[in-house]
Amino acid sequence: MGESGAGDDVRLIQTDLAALELDENRKDLPCNVTPVRKATLGFDLHMHAGYGVTIPLRELAGDGNRLTIIFRVTPQQESAQPVFFTQYFRVPPIEADARGETYLEGSFDMGEGVYKVDWLMRDVSKRLWTYHWEVEATLPERDKDIALTLAPGEVAVSRYEVFEEDQPVTRASPDNGINVKVLVNFAPPNPNAAVLQPLDRSALLSIVRNIARDPRISKFTLVAFNLQERRVIFRQDEASRIDYEGLRAALESLNLGTIDVGRLSQRNGEALFLAELLQREVTEAKGVDAIVFAGPKALLSQNVSSEDLRKIGPLPFPLFYLNYNLFPEVIPWRDAIGNVVRFFKGTEYTITRPRDMWRAVGEMISRIWQNKNERQQLASGELK
């Protein structure tokens, strides 16, 4: 079991600080450290880096051990201050002749820049292993327009709590801003999976966050649903901030991998649910400037029929689909939601990498904004 902390939570003893200051590697405790020297961009728009360490089990033999890992990350900028991180791991009793290795890892986030990492691990016997390396966090030229959520030279702990509240956004007034309805299919990319993996859940939440953070949106409605279970699990109407705690509780209610026997008798149940969901949301979309679907490929045995879609009628606003698909070359064909969006002459974006999300959301919001302005000008007779 591990515990971690950063910043003011880290308490150093003098020998630790002295070991970190020495720019040489100490190897009292045999292990192998694999650092990440090139930071990568995540869907949360943070640059991520870290390390992995393998330790032979025989080195931890005994009735129990405790490993302490301390590392210092220093931006290589004038007057920059270092940030300290610490991790603690309790080791269960291990036989003296134990074979194999154990693997530990840690991470941190940063803005663009170059950073020096001074890393230390010690056990209860005060054996040390130290390691030093540099990390470069640089966006490629094609991604320079992406607004990272950490400033250059800024260092932060990696947040695994993806439901934390966002900072308040100064939004456009209802008269000038746009009203967006977002329908998110919180489902695994693999329809046979029994759980929504943290990586996929985080990516879907990042898509929601990036839409909600845009100041041109005056209010939005969030509808979280699961196509497999054929139910809406969470709803928040015309909000200025997302209730992430409520969304968390709703996602925990999912029973992926289980089958409701009563639903087996309903042919094309998922397609009917999707059609009814869109019909209801369009009917209740008074004052809405766009509906946005988001989620992984929804591969159904049968798509929503053209007859059911014609019943919904022409939409008075644009329809978009942010399709989260990490491997588009494996599933290149259009899914059930994509077919609905195509029927209504909407726009579909494929989200494979963080930059796809950033650009798709930015372009989509701009198109919704422009469409609303043109409709207002047309209504007032200004647009000929």
CATH code (residue 210): 3.40.50.410
Mean per-residue pLDDT of the chain: 89
Whether residue 171 lies inside any domain: the answer is: no
- 212 pLDDT more than 70: yes
Question: Distances in Å between the alpha carbon of 71 and those of 19, 116, 314, 373?
Answer: 11, 10, 58, 52
257 in a structural domain: yes
Q: Is the pLDDT of residue 261 over 60?
A: no
* pLDDT tens per residue across span 374-383: 888 887 776 5
Residues 16 and 130 in one domain: yes
SS (H, E, C) 79-117: CCCCEEEEEEEEECCECCCCCCEEEEEEEEEECCEEEEE
- Distance between CA atoms of 381 and 162, rounded to whole angstroms? 46
Among 154, 188, 220, the domain-final residue is 154
Question: CATH code at 134?
Answer: 2.60.40.3880
Within a domain: 160: no
| Lateral strand order in the sheet of 113-122 | 2-6, 83-91, 65-75, 113-122, 128-137
Query: Of 100, 120, 154, which closes a domain?
Result: 154
CA-to-CA distance for 92 and 205, rounded, in angstroms? 36
Question: What pLDDT was estimated at residue 8?
Answer: 46
What does the pLDDT read at residue 9?
Answer: 54
Weakest mean pLDDT among 17-31, 42-56, 336-350? 17-31
Residue 125 falls inside a structural domain: yes
Looking at the structure, tell me whether residues 198 and 236 fall in a common domain.
yes
Question: Which pLDDT value is given to residue 166?
Answer: 82
Decide which of 87, 121, 154 is a domain's last residue.
154
The Cα 354–Cα 233 span in angstroms is 26
Instruction: Give yes or no: residues 333 and 258 share one domain.
Output: yes
Residue 61 lies in a domain: yes
pLDDT for position 80 = 85
Share of the chain above pLDDT 70, in %: 92
First-last CA distance in the chain: 67
Q: pLDDT tens digit string along 137-158?
A: 999 998 989 989 899 999 998 8
Residues 205, 114, single domain; the answer is: no
Structure confidence at residue 1 as a pLDDT band (50, 70, 90): very low
Q: Which residue has the higher pLDDT, 79 or 240?
A: 240
Percent of the chain whose predicted confidence (pLDDT) is above 90:
66
164 within a domain of the structure (yes/no)? no
Structural domain range at position 186 = 178-379
Whether residue 92 is contained in a domain is answered as yes
Kindly provide the residue ranges of all beta strands, DSSP E only, lying in the chain, ordered along the sequence.
2-6, 32-35, 40-41, 47-56, 65-75, 83-91, 101-110, 113-122, 128-137, 155-157, 178-185, 217-226, 231-239, 290-296, 319-324, 347-351
Among residues 359, 223, 327, which one has the least CA distance to residue 281? 223
Tally of domains in the chain: 2
| Coil/strand/helix, residue 186 | coil
Rounded distance, CA 262 to CA 147, Å? 48
pTM: 0.84
How much is the average pLDDT of 219-232?
A: 94
pLDDT tens by residue, 298-336: 998 889 999 999 999 899 999 999 999 999 998 889 999
**CA–CA distance, 334 with 298 (Å, rounded to integer):** 9
Q: Which three-class secondary structure state does DSSP give residue 148? A: coil
Whether the per-residue pLDDT at 23 is higher than 90: the answer is: no
pLDDT of residue 3: 52
Q: Which residue has the higher pLDDT, 30 or 205?
A: 205
Enter the tokens of residue 288. Answer: 């809405």
Q: How confident is the model at residue 350 (pLDDT cuts 50, 70, 90)?
A: very high
Domain contains 262: yes
Q: Are residues 141 and 53 in the same domain?
A: yes
CA pair distance 84, 119, nearest whole angstrom: 10
Q: In this structure, are 275 and 217 located in the same domain?
A: yes
Report how far apart, in Å, the C-alpha atoms of 214 and of each of 157, 246, 290, 369 are. 25, 21, 14, 11
Claim to verify: residue 246 and residue 209 sit in the same structural domain: yes
Do 150 and 242 lie in one domain? The reply is: no
| Paired strand residues for 131 | 119
The span from the CA of 196 to the CA of 185, in Å, is 11
Residue 284, sorted as left (phi over 0), alpha (psi -120 to 50) or beta, turns out to be alpha
Domain shared by 299 and 186, yes or no: yes
Give CA separation, 241 vs 165, 212, 238, 249, in Å.
9, 8, 9, 17
Residues 95 and 188 in one domain: no
Say if residue 116 is in the same domain as residue 185. Answer: no
> Residue 94 in contact with residue 61, Cβ under 8 Å?
yes
Verify that 223 and 371 share a domain, yes or no: yes
Q: What does the alpha-carbon distance between residue 251 and residue 232 come to, in Å, rounded to a whole number?
A: 11
